[in-house]
Structure 1
C-alpha cells in the first residue's frame, strides 16, 4: 500500500478511537488489553504539543482548513433537535478521553445536559467492564486471527521487526499478541500512556462520566449499540487495512502525543471536521500514490457511515419523547451522512446550539 493510504488509515483509526467509538479495547485505557504492558512516560502526563503552528508555517494548515470548510456541519459540538409538538433535545459530540479539559462541558452543553430527562450514549456496555470483556470472549473471531494464522504471517520482515521492537519497549512479548487481530493490537497501543494512567486512577472517558452523572441525577440512560456490534465493525475491516493501521501506529509512535494534543485543542474549539485531516497532514510523507481512495472509502463507510445510519434508526424513537441529551463521538456529527444531516432528512430541525 502507498504511504498516503497508510497516513489516511492511521488518521481515520486514531480519530475513530478518540471521536468515534469507545471500544472495549480502549475503554480502560491503552495497553489494558495487552499482557505485560508497562508505563513508559511520567505518570499522568501526555507530553504532547500542538502542531497547528508547524502545519501553518509550511502551508499544510491552509489546505486542511479548506478541506474542513467543505464538510457540512464541520464546526460545533452541540446541536438543538426540534420538531413540532416535541420538547427540544440536544446532540453533543464527545471525545472518548479522560483528559480533564475534555471532561468539562461547555456552558451551553452543561445546561442542555442538566435539563434533559434522558441521556443517550453509544453503548451501555462501556459502563460495565465485565460485560465488555464478555463480548470479546463470547466471539473470539472478532479479536483473534483464524486458527493456524499468526500476526507474523501478515507482516513482512521489516514490519515484524518494527512491531517486535515496539512491543518490547512496552514489556509485551510478541508471543502474547501474535494470535490477536492487528486492529485489536493497534487499538491498545494507539493512545498515549497518560490515558492508561488516568484510567488506572479511576478517571473515565467523557461518555462514561456523563452516564455516571445521569444515573446519579436519576435520568434514564440508553445506548445505541452493543459492544459486540462495535467489535464487529472493527473486525470487518480488511486485514490489509488492519495491518497498515498497526504498522503506522508503531512507525509514528513518537508523533502520536503531539497529534493527540492537537486533536484535543481542535475539539475544544469545536473544529471537528479539521481533526482527521490535521492528523493525516501531520504524518510524515515518504511516498505518494493515487490508489488509496477506494480502500479508505470502504474504511469510512463501514466504521462511520453504516454506524451513523444504525444510530439514527435507534435514536429517533427516543427523540420522539423529547428532553433527550444524545452524547456520541464527534466524528459522527459532520458530513452529508453525519447525524446532523440524517436527522434533518427525517424532518427534524437541527441547529447549532454552541
Structure 2
C-alpha cells in the first residue's frame, strides 16, 4: 500500500518528525559501509579534515566549571537498536540529572505536525512558484521519481518549498518507513528515560526556529542546493550506513569530513565548498550559537544532561569549544 507521510527532517542533523497513515512495514535499510573501499586519496582527505577538528572523536563528554559538572552526549537521529539504545553510563547520568536538554521535545514535534496539517503553507513555496519552472525537465522528473517512495506526488513536488524536498530526500525512504512504523530514535529514548525518572525535559529550540533556517533562503538558492544534492540521493542508504558505522566507532568529525569529501567528488571543490558552508553553517553553527546562550547558565549550575546531534559537539564552532572559551574544563568520558 502506498505510504503517505509528512516526511522527516534530515536524519543526522535534525530530530525527525513523522506523521504516517496506512504505513506498511518495509525491509530494513540495505546500505553498505563505503569506508572499507575508499580510495587512498579520498580516505586521506577525510582523515586530514577530521584530524584537524577540535574534540573530533567521542560522543560522551563532561563539562565542569567552578565545581559544577554536567554532561553532553552526541546522538544520531536513528531508530535501530544498535545506535538508539542509551548507553548505561548515560542512563545513570540521566536518572540523577536535574534536567535533560534536547534539540526538540516530543511535545514540540507534535505541535509541528499539527501546525503543518492546519497550515500546509509552511512547507509550500511562496507565491505559488512551481519547481518545474526552475529545473531542467530531466532533473524535475528525477526528483518526482525519488519522492514517490515517500508518498509525494508530482503535484506536491511542484508546490513544496525546495528546502523541504532537500531535507526529505536526505533521509532514505527506509528510515522514514521505520520511524513511521513506530521506531523511536535515540533522542526520544533518552527523553523517555528522563521522564521515567521524573527528570524535567526541555528543548533548545522550536520547530519554527528550525524551519526558519531554510525558509529565509531565496527560492533560487533553495533550488540550487536541491540540484547540487541530486547526485547523492541515489547513494543515500550507503551514505547513511557509512555514517552509522563511523558514529558507532566514535569518529564524529569524520562524518562531516566524509559528507564534505563526497560533495567535492560529486560537484567539484568550489561548488561543494560553497554548499557545505551554507548547509553546515545553518544546521550546525547558527544553532550552536543560539543554544549556547540557553545552555551556559544551566550548565553553570551543574547537574544537566545535554543530548543533541553528535555533529554539534566538535570543531571550532562546536558546543564543546564554545564552552571551553567560557571557562569550562572538557573531559571525554567514552
1:21 counterpart residue number:
14
* Count of aligned positions: 326
Once residues 256 and 129 of structure 2 are traced to their aligned partners in structure 1, the CA distance between those partners, rounded to angstroms, is: 32
2:3 counterpart residue number:
none
Deviations 1:182-236 (A, max 9, x none): 1112222322233223223322221111111111110011111111101111223
Q: Identify the match of residue 45 of structure 1 among 11, 20, 28.
A: 28
2:64 counterpart residue number:
82
Tell me, yes or no, if structure 1 residue 270 matches structure 2 residue 250: yes
Tell me, yes or no, if structure 1 residue 200 matches structure 2 residue 180: yes
Change over 3 Å in CA distance of 1:174–1:162 after alignment to 2: same
1:290 counterpart residue number:
270
Could you say what the CA RMSD is over the residues aligned between the two structures, in angstroms? 2.7
Tell me, yes or no, if structure 1 residue 176 matches structure 2 residue 165: no
Q: How far is 1:137 from its partner?
A: 6.0
Paired residues of 1:118 and 1:324 also in contact (CA < 8 A): yes
Once residues 46 and 234 of structure 2 are traced to their aligned partners in structure 1, the CA distance between those partners, rounded to angstroms, is: 22
Deviations 1:156-205 (A, max 9, x none): 22321222333345553210232111111222232223322322332222
Change over 3 Å in CA distance of 1:46–1:283 after alignment to 2: farther
Change over 3 Å in CA distance of 1:171–1:203 after alignment to 2: closer
Paired residues of 1:60 and 1:281 also in contact (CA < 8 A): yes
Q: How far is 1:289 from its partner?
A: 4.8
SS of the equivalent of 1:71 reads coil
Bigger mean CA offset, 215-224 vs 156-165: 156-165
| Length-normalised TM-score, structure 2 | 0.87
Q: How far is 1:73 from its partner?
A: 0.8
Paired residues of 2:225 and 2:275 also in contact (CA < 8 A): no
Q: Which runs of 5+ in 2 are unaligned?
A: 1-8
1:60 counterpart residue number:
42
| Length-normalised TM-score, structure 1 | 0.82
Deviations 1:289-335 (A, max 9, x none): 53554454233333321210110001122223311110011111111
SS of the equivalent of 2:103 reads strand
Once residues 148 and 275 of structure 2 are traced to their aligned partners in structure 1, the CA distance between those partners, rounded to angstroms, is: 31
Once residues 20 and 83 of structure 1 are traced to their aligned partners in structure 2, the CA distance between those partners, rounded to angstroms, is: 28
Paired residues of 1:44 and 1:195 also in contact (CA < 8 A): no
Q: Identify the match of residue 77 of structure 2 among 49, 73, 96.
A: 96
Paired residues of 1:211 and 1:221 also in contact (CA < 8 A): yes
SS of the equivalent of 2:128 reads coil
2:113 counterpart residue number:
133
Tell me, yes or no, if structure 1 residue 320 matches structure 2 residue 320: no
Q: How far is 1:104 from its partner?
A: 2.0
Paired residues of 1:142 and 1:232 also in contact (CA < 8 A): no
Change over 3 Å in CA distance of 1:101–1:319 after alignment to 2: same
Once residues 299 and 306 of structure 1 are traced to their aligned partners in structure 2, the CA distance between those partners, rounded to angstroms, is: 10
Q: Per chain length, whose mean CA-contact separation is higher, i.e. which structure has more relative contact order (CA < 8 Å, sep 6+)?
A: 1
Paired residues of 1:81 and 1:351 also in contact (CA < 8 A): yes
Change over 3 Å in CA distance of 1:296–1:59 after alignment to 2: closer
Q: Identify the match of residue 166 of structure 2 among 182, 186, 195.
A: 186
Once residues 286 and 128 of structure 1 are traced to their aligned partners in structure 2, the CA distance between those partners, rounded to angstroms, is: 36
SS of the equivalent of 1:225 reads coil
